Amino acid sequence: MHELAITEGVVQAVTERLPGTAIACVHLEIGAMSGVVADSVRFCFEMVAEGTTLEGARLDISQPRARCRCRDCGAEFEPEGALPLCDCGSADVAVLAGQELRITSVEVV
């Protein structure tokens, strides 16, 4: 349900950065380990954008894959599923990528 607040954050950030500018497309990065469901953001976007300069804008979401480094053996790997477990058996990992939650750019009309 937090995707609604996330989507409101997107619309608010864009309208603050580019006041009064009609937006044709918004490019987002939502990482696989960000805790945000891209489809839910898509679902909320049309409603949240209504009546703003983002109304009718296209939403383009890229979803960077997760990448981790094991703190025990140093190996880098792409975790499968929600549990980032290294092949060495360690769960003590640093997340290098996949937690992105970012507005990369917008296309203006």
Partner 1 sequence: MCATCGCGDEAGVRVFGPGHLGHDDEPARQHERHEHEHPHERHDGHAEGHVHDHGSRPAGRTVELQQKILAKNDRLAEENRAWLAAHGILAVNLMSSPGSGKTTLLERTARDAGARLGLAVIEGDQETTLDASRIEAAGCAVAQINTGAGCHLDAIMIASALRALDPRPGSVLVIENVGNLVCPALFDLGEAARVVLSSVTEGADKPIKYPQMFRGADLVLLTKVDLLPYVDFDTERHARDLKLISPHAQLLPVSATAGEGLPAWYDWLAGRAG
Task: Answer yes or no whether residue 47 interacts with partner 1 by CB under 8 A.
Answer: yes
Structure tokens at 88: 């060495």
- Which position among 31, 32, 38, 44 is part of the footprint of partner 1 (CB under 8 A)? 44
Residue 62's DSSP bridge partners are 29
76-105 binders of partner 1 (CB under 8 A): 82-83, 85, 90-92, 101-105
Residues forming a β-bridge with 68? 77, 95
Which is nearest to 106 in space by CA: 41, 37, 19, 31? 19
Cα–Cα distance for residue pair 14/58, rounded to 1 Å: 14
Residue of 24, 73, 88, 94 that binds partner 1 (CB under 8 A): 24
Which residues of this chain interact with partner 1, rule CB under 8 A?
A: 1-6, 9-10, 12-14, 16-18, 24, 28, 35-36, 40, 43-44, 47-48, 82-83, 85, 90-92, 101-109
